[in-house]
Amino acid sequence: MRLEGKVVIVTGAARGIGEAIVEACVREGAKVAALDLDGGGAEKVATALRGRGADVIALAADVTRSSEISRAFEAVRARWGRVDVLVNNAGGFAVIRATEEISEEEWNAIVASNLTSVFLCSKTVLPIMKGQRYGRIVNLASVVGRAGAVRVTSHYAAAKAGVIGFTRHLALEVGAHGITVNAVAPGTTATERVLKARTPEETQRVAEAIPVKRLGEPGEIAEAVVFLASDSAAFINGATLDVNGGQVMV
Ligand SMILES: NC(=O)c1ccc[n+]([C@@H]2O[C@H](COP(=O)([O-])OP(=O)(O)OC[C@H]3O[C@@H](n4cnc5c(N)ncnc54)[C@H](O)[C@@H]3O)[C@@H](O)[C@H]2O)c1
């Protein structure tokens, strides 16, 4: 098992890719804190896994609010005494809009949930990881942060490109403390949110444009996260791993 005994925090864990990451970490032997704005959804994920003997807790918190993040991470440390892995997965967008139709308020909200959240959660966990002289931070970027080839929406593309830049810089800053920081950039992945954002015909067109002729599955993104969180990836730092079926190649 690749994460035996490790303590992992996964944000945005109530559904989609985050839920798949929680399941994959549990399968690899980790103790997992499933954190989400939707505390009830996170509790459902945790309860199902506890029923199979896993050590999983649910935490309700908004990752755009530092006070809620501190409270949640403190609860993890109180329970397990450390935090080995932080997976900054919370984020996404709901509606595809032309740039001139994006309000300033919506721009700020998307940047807050996709980029500022990664800064705030990393900032909160770093003193813990530095104290341990060990840590793994894995950030969820996106294919749209890697290249302009996929049409989504500009605030989200800007935020995810920011996640990649932040990942590189933090990797440079904290590598000497035994902490690695990497990103996974998924291509279009079949979660409920993404399927709802387009008509079935539009989704079909997206799938046809991907060399492997299908969308990704949440579990396939989770596999890449587990790898980067594991000691097999100890010498990988500041990287962005594309998991996209060839949707963009950089
Ligand atoms: N699905 C895709 O095609 C795709 C592609 C590239 C990148 N991604 C990225 O992967 C991640 C997961 O995507 P998904 O499709 O599983 O999304 P999703 O909407 O299915 O799940 C996201 C979860 O994050 C939670 N969340 C959102 N804002 C939050 C906040 N402020 N505080 C705490 N929790 C919050 C939501 O409640 C939800 O449970 C996102 O960062 C997304 O941008 C997804």
29: CATH:
3.40.50.720
Give the least confident one: 143-152, 163-172, 221-230: 143-152
The strand pair at 7-11 and 85-88 is best described as: parallel
What is the Cβ-side half-sphere exposure of residue 146, based on CA atoms within 13 angstroms? 22
Encode 19-54: b = buried (16+ Cβ within 10 Å), e = exposed: bbbbbbbbbbebbbbbbbbeeebbbbbbeebeeeeb
CA of 176 to the centre of ligand 1 (A): 30
Q: Residue range 76-81: average pLDDT?
A: 98
Asked whether residue 250 is assigned to any structural domain, the reply reads: no
Q: Residue range 109-126: average pLDDT?
A: 98
Asked whether residue 176 is assigned to any structural domain, the reply reads: yes
Average pLDDT of the chain to the nearest whole number: 97
Asked whether residue 167 is assigned to any structural domain, the reply reads: yes
The yes-or-no verdict on residue 149 having pLDDT over 90 is: no
Q: What's residue 170's pLDDT?
A: 98
Q: What's residue 150's pLDDT?
A: 84
- Local structure of 32: helix, strand or coil: strand
Q: What's residue 112's pLDDT?
A: 98
Residue 193: give the domain boundaries.
7-243
Asked whether residue 62 is assigned to any structural domain, the reply reads: yes
Q: What's residue 118's pLDDT?
A: 99
Residue positions annotated with a catalytic role: 156
Give ligand 1 pocket residues (Cβ under 6 A): 11-12, 14-18, 36-38, 41, 62-64, 89-92, 113, 117, 140, 142-143, 186, 188-189, 191-194
From the CA of 141, give the closest atom in ligand 1.
7
Q: What's residue 49's pLDDT?
A: 98
CA of 92 to the centre of ligand 1 (A): 4
pLDDT band of residue 197 (cuts 50, 70, 90) is confident
CA of 19 to the centre of ligand 1 (A): 10
The yes-or-no verdict on residue 151 having pLDDT over 90 is: no
> How many independent structural domains does the chain possess?
1
How far apart are alpha carbons 104 and 112 in whole angstroms? 12
The strand pair at 56-60 and 135-140 is best described as: unpaired
- Local structure of 238: helix, strand or coil: coil
Asked whether residue 103 is assigned to any structural domain, the reply reads: yes
Contact between 35 and 57 (Cβ < 8 Å): no
What is the Cβ-side half-sphere exposure of residue 18, based on CA atoms within 13 angstroms? 29
pLDDT band of residue 36 (cuts 50, 70, 90) is very high
Contact between 228 and 182 (Cβ < 8 Å): yes
Asked whether residue 194 is assigned to any structural domain, the reply reads: yes
Q: Residue range 55-78: average pLDDT?
A: 98
CA of 115 to the centre of ligand 1 (A): 12
Q: Give the DSSP letter of residue 55.
A: -
Residue 80: both structure tokens together: 């397990």
Asked whether residue 96 is assigned to any structural domain, the reply reads: yes
Q: What angle do CA 143, 146, 152 make, to 5 degrees?
A: 50
CA of 238 to the centre of ligand 1 (A): 22
Asked whether residue 104 is assigned to any structural domain, the reply reads: yes
Q: What's residue 240's pLDDT?
A: 98
pLDDT band of residue 75 (cuts 50, 70, 90) is very high
